[in-house]
Amino acid sequence: MDTSEGLVNLQKHWDTAYKKCPTEKLGWFEEVPTLSLELIADCNLKSKATIFVAGAGSSTLIDALIALNYTTLIANDISREALEGMEKRLSESDKKKLTCIVDDLTAPKVLNDLPNIDLWVDRAVVHFFLKESEQESYFNLIKSKLKKGGLVLLAAFALDGAKKCCGLEVFRYNTQMFQDRLGDDFELVKAQDHTYMNPFGDSRPYIYTLFQRKE
């Protein structure tokens, strides 16, 4: 399978997941993304800070950030279906605070033109990047776009977490593995274990981490 065929298949996989299931029935749905919001509050960002949500899907995090008065949001996903579903919930004036970018985080094209980012948020996305080349490309994108002093929130299945999500294998993480990927230029601000209960009542152990790029 060549890269473009792989990309089309991956887009189809995620578009189908979002088409066949209402947001609140998705296996990763959070009515309120409490822990992400707590960690974002710790960042003390200005309301005009540029916040990039990687693999945002149809996450309620976007609605919550708009409600908190953040005005410069960028949501990415490989699934157009997911982002369109999320955008439909927003009022016309709230849509002006959000830019949506359909692109592959591991083979970026449009994402190469991202502005500099104050906060990068990834919940339940990085663990889908199984190949070394995909991981390297993704962390290089973070490093190329995050401002000095910028923050990165990475939340992924923990080492004792589930081995699959949405029918796909996952690559599980602990804090040190994120630190190794980000390198010495990033300092750990906070790390927290978290057990997420999905809509089917299954527990999903996660590791939540917040890192800051040195000035």
Ligand X SMILES: C[S@@+](CC[C@H](N)C(=O)[O-])C[C@H]1O[C@@H](n2cnc3c(N)ncnc32)[C@H](O)[C@@H]1O
Contact residues for ligand X, defined by CB under 6 A: 14, 28, 55-57, 59, 76-79, 82, 104-106, 123-125, 128, 165-166
Cα–Cα distance for residue pair 135/154, rounded to 1 Å:
13
Distance of CA 148 to the CA centre of its chain: 20
Q: Report the residue number, 123 or 181, with the smaller CB distance to ligand X.
A: 123
Q: Report the residue number, 77 or 118, with the smaller CB distance to ligand X.
A: 77
Contact 97, 74 (CB under 8 A): no
For 18-59, the DSSP string reads HHSS-GGGSTT--SS-HHHHHHHHHT---TT-EEEEET-TT-
In the complex, the smallest distance separating the C-beta of residue 130 from ligand X, rounded to whole angstroms, is 11
Q: Report the residue number, 32 or 48, with the smaller CB distance to ligand X.
A: 32
Could you give phi then psi for residue 200, rounded to 5 degrees? -95, 5
Cα–Cα distance for residue pair 82/114, rounded to 1 Å:
20
In the complex, the smallest distance separating the C-beta of residue 123 from ligand X, rounded to whole angstroms, is 4
Q: Report the residue number, 1 or 214, with the smaller CB distance to ligand X.
A: 1
In the complex, the smallest distance separating the C-beta of residue 103 from ligand X, rounded to whole angstroms, is 7
Could you give phi then psi for residue 102, rounded to 5 degrees? -90, 115
In the complex, the smallest distance separating the C-beta of residue 165 from ligand X, rounded to whole angstroms, is 6
